Amino acid sequence: MFGEAQLRHTDVVIAGGGLAGSLAAAMLGRAGIDAILVDLHPVYPPDFRCEKLDSAQVKTLRLTGLADAVIAASTPDQTCWVARHGRLVEKLPGERQRGILYDTLVNTVRSQLPNRTEFVHAKVTDIATGAERQTVRLSTGEEIAARLVVLATGLNIGNTVGPLTFGWMMDHGAPRSVFLGSVFFMALTAVYGLFEERRGASRNPFPHVRGES
For the stretch 75-134, pLDDT in tens is: 988 787 888 888 899 887 766 788 999 999 999 999 999 999 999 999 999 999 888 899
For residue 141, the SS3 value is: coil
Per the domain annotation, does 210 fall within a domain? no
Both 148 and 162 in one domain: the answer is no
- 193 and 150 in one domain? no
Is 82 inside any structural domain?
yes
pTM: 0.67
Helices (H), 63-156: 67-73, 102-110
Give the model's confidence band at 162: pLDDT under 50 very low, under 70 low, under 90 confident, else very high.
low
Residues 134 and 85 grouped into a single domain? yes
The confidence band for 2, taking pLDDT boundaries of 50, 70 and 90, is low
Residue 208 lies in a domain: no
Residue 143 placed within a domain: yes
Domain that includes residue 168, residue range = 156-203
Both 192 and 114 in one domain: the answer is no
150 plus 162 within the same structural domain: no
DSSP bridge pairs for 52: 99
Most distant CA atoms of the chain, gap in Å: 65
Residue 81 shares a structural domain with residue 177: no
Spatial separation of the C-alpha atoms in residues 71 and 82, rounded to whole Å:
23
Do 129 and 27 fall into the same domain? yes
User: Do 149 and 164 fall within a single domain?
Assistant: no
- One domain for residues 77 and 135: yes
Chain Cα centroid distance, residue 73: 18
131 & 46 share domain: yes
Total number of domains in the chain: 2
| 91 lies in the same domain as 142 | yes
Q: Residue 210: what pLDDT?
A: 43
Note whether 12 and 48 are same-domain residues.
Answer: yes
pLDDT in tens, 53-70: 888 889 999 999 999 999
* 126 neighbors 149 (Cβ within 8 angstroms): no
